[in-house]
Structures are given as structure tokens and as C-alpha cells.
């Protein structure tokens, strides 16, 4: 395992060079990997593992969109596609990739099939970290590991097809066989990770929930909405407000940040933009720091988990979600976005 230094901090990382795909195949040569759940992460991980030469089956309830999607992706009922219980019984490694709410409801049907020596795999630390609330308490004689790609299953698959990789974190919660770490790393390489960095289940879920509610989604959406509203209030057109708030960010600046970092992005903008950004970043950081402190506290105390579990357990959640998303989509900023995107040159 390699070491990566960030100032005074050292991290454990695993690259494809030190743990190549062939070693991963050898590590899992006798394994049957069941992908339980074919929603957000399931399709990408399942197809990447299959394409990389691993023995993979899918467990998914028949009759729904996810089951039909699995068939469309080439999984064959009775051969590589089964009901959840049968898939778990056939597998030596169960990749538990249902939604957090789905994991809670399906757990009583899964746990009887977690017999000695098997491996239980997660891509999110939620179920284990908040086990007093979720009831997901694995048997003591199975390995429990995590590989969490830092992006959606769709991104994982697209990058895999392009010959690239999405970085992932990995962790071992329980090592019953003495092989849990190698199993986790091999699975991480198998699903197409660019490299793997070590964490634990609690840190993974705390950082993930904070990030989703903060910079990655919630905070980003809130900043966009606030800036767009200010520009519109002062007489700027919807097109101008959207382009200065969203289009330039997503189409120009974020790719520069992703390529070589924030300083490089600053260096490749005008002096006017550089000076304003470098000065105002301090005010924004100081303004939102208390919000992030409050957010992290709610995540670490389990309050955010309680909200998520309650919402996911509501039989009317999907209808309520659709209404919320429709409200977002109908906001002027995103209606303007539809128009702007329609005018982009065809590539």
C-alpha cells in the first residue's frame, strides 16, 4: 500500500499499479459476487465487474423498472438475474447497493444468507454507522467492507468505458476471514476505481452526507439560486443571469478546476476576475463556515440519518419527491437553463 503526503498528513492509498486487475481477479477467483439492488450504483458496478472478468449475478425484485433495466443490460433471469434472497444464497460476496431505506427493509431477507466466510460489501457507510437506527447488524463471522466511488454509478460506468477511473474510498469494518482488506481492494479495482484511499465507515458517511448537503448539491443549489435572484432583482435578463450563474460555471470553470485545481483556474481568468474571486472567497468562507459546523453536527449526531430514514420509510415519499423536483424544475433559473442548453452548438 502506497503512502500519499498532504502537508503533515499521510494517507494510505492503493493504485492500479500496485494492485493490478489480474491480482484482483486472482483474489476473487473463487467468488460469486451478487449485486443486490440495480438502481444508482448497481448497474455501473455490476457491468464493470462483468466486463473485467468477474463472476457476477444480480439480485433485484421482479416487476419494476430496475428489474427491466437489468434485463436490458444483459442480465438473464434464472442465470445471472435472481430474486434478492436467491442471489444472496448463491453469492460468496454480497454487494448491498440498495438505497439506504431499501437496505433497511430488505435486511431481514438478506441476513439469513450471510453465512460464515461470506463478504458483505457496501458503497455507503450509512447502514452500518447508524446501525442502532437501521437495524443492520451483520453476523460476526462475515467480512464487512466498503468501497465508495466518489461519484454516481453512471459516472463510474462512463469513465470505465472511456478507459478511465473514478476514485473510491475503501474501508474494513469487520475482518472475519483475515482476507477482508484484499477482498475490498480487489472489488474496488474490479469496479473500475482510479485509485482507492483508506477511510472508515463513519468518516465515509459523515463526509458524504456533509458533501451532499453542502458544496456538491445543497450548498451549490442555494448559492446559484441566491445569485440568480440578486441579478434578476437588479434588472438582468434571465439569459444573462443564468449564464453568469450556471453556464459559465459548468461549461468553463469547473472543467478547469477538475483539470488542475482552483489556483490554475484563477490563473486562466482575467485580472478583474482573479482579484474579485481571491478577495471575496474569504467573505463567503466566513459566512458559510457556521452553516457547515451546524450541518456536520447534525450528521455526526445522527439527526440527519433520522430525517432520511423517516422520509424513506414514508410510502408517499416518491410522490412528495416528484412534487419537490417539479417545483425546482419550474423555477425560472432552470427554465432559463433549458433555453440556454437548447441554443448550445451541436457538437
Catalytic residues: 124
Residues in CB range of 250: below 8 A, 6 or more apart: none
Which grid coordinates are listed for 83? 430474486
Distance CA 302, CA 206 (A): 10
Instruction: With beta carbons less than 8 A apart as the criterion, state whether 138 and 112 touch.
Output: no
Which contiguous run of DSSP H or E holds residue 11? strand 9-15
Q: 346 in helix, strand or coil?
A: coil
Which grid coordinates are listed for 230? 440578486
Distance CA 289, CA 59 (A): 42
Residue 94 is classified by DSSP as E
Strand partners of residue 9: 6
Distance CA 118, CA 174 (A): 11
Identify the sign of the CA torsion 17, 1, 156, 104. positive
Residue with cell 419550474: 330
How many angstroms from the chain centroid is the CA of residue 208? 8
Instruction: Look at the chain and count its residues.
Output: 347
Residue with cell 448537503: 213
Separation of first and last alpha carbons in the chain: 42
Q: 78 in helix, strand or coil?
A: coil
In 114-268 the beta strands, taken as DSSP E runs, fall at: 119-122, 143-149, 166-174, 193-198
> What angle do helix axes 271-300 and 201-213 make, rounded to 10 degrees?
130
Amino acid at each position: 500500500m502506497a503512502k500519499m503526503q498532504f502537508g503533515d498528513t499521510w494517507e494510505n492509498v492503493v493504485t492500479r499499479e500496485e494492485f493490478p486487475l489480474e491480482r484482483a481477479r486472482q483474489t476473487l477467483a473463487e467468488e460469486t459476487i451478487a449485486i443486490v439492488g440495480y438502481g444508482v450504483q448497481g448497474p455501473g458496478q455490476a457491468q464493470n465487474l462483468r466486463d473485467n472478468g468477474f463472476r457476477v449475478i444480480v439480485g433485484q425484485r421482479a416487476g419494476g423498472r430496475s428489474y427491466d433495466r437489468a434485463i436490458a443490460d444483459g442480465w438473464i433471469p434464472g442465470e445471472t438475474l435472481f430474486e434478492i434472497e436467491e442471489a444472496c444464497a448463491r453469492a460468496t460476496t454480497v454487494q448491498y447497493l440498495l438505497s439506504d431505506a431499501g437496505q433497511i427493509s430488505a435486511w431481514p431477507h438478506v441476513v439469513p444468507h450471510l453465512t460464515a466466510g461470506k463478504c458483505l460489501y457496501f458503497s455507503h457507510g450509512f447502514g452500518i454507522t447508524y446501525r442502532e437506527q437501521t437495524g443492520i447488524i451483520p453476523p460476526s463471522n462475515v467480512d464487512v467492507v466498503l468501497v465508495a466511488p466518489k461519484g454516481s454509478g453512471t459516472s463510474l460506468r462512463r469513465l470505465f468505458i472511456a478507459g478511465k477511473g473514478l476514485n473510491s474510498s475503501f474501508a474494513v469494518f469487520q475482518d472475519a476471514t483475515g482476507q477482508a482488506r484484499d477482498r475490498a481492494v480487489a472489488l474496488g479495482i474490479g469496479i473500475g476505481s482510479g485509485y482507492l484511499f483508506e477511510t472508515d465507515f463513519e468518516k465515509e458517511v459523515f463526509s458524504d452526507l456533509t458533501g451532499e448537503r453542502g458544496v456538491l448539491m445543497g450548498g451549490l443549489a442555494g448559492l446559484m439560486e441566491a445569485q440568480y435572484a440578486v441579478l434578476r432583482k437588479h434588472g438582468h435578463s434571465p439569459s444573462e443571469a443564468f449564464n453568469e450563474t450556471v453556464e459559465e460555471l459548468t461549461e468553463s470553470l469547473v472543467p478547469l478546476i477538475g483539470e488542475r485545481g482552483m489556483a490554475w483556474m484563477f490563473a486562466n481568468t482575467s485580472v478583474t476576475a482573479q482579484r474579485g474571486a481571491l478577495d471575496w472567497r474569504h467573505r463567503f468562507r466566513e459566512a458559510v463556515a457556521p452553516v457547515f459546523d451546524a450541518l456536520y453536527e447534525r450528521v455526526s449526531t445522527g439527526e440527519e440519518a433520522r430525517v432520511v430514514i423517516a422520509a424513506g420509510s414514508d410510502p408517499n415519499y416518491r410522490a412528495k419527491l416528484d412534487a419537490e423536483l417539479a417545483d425546482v424544475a419550474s423555477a425560472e433559473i432552470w427554465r432559463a437553463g433549458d433555453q440556454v442548453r437548447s441554443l448550445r452548438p451541436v457538437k
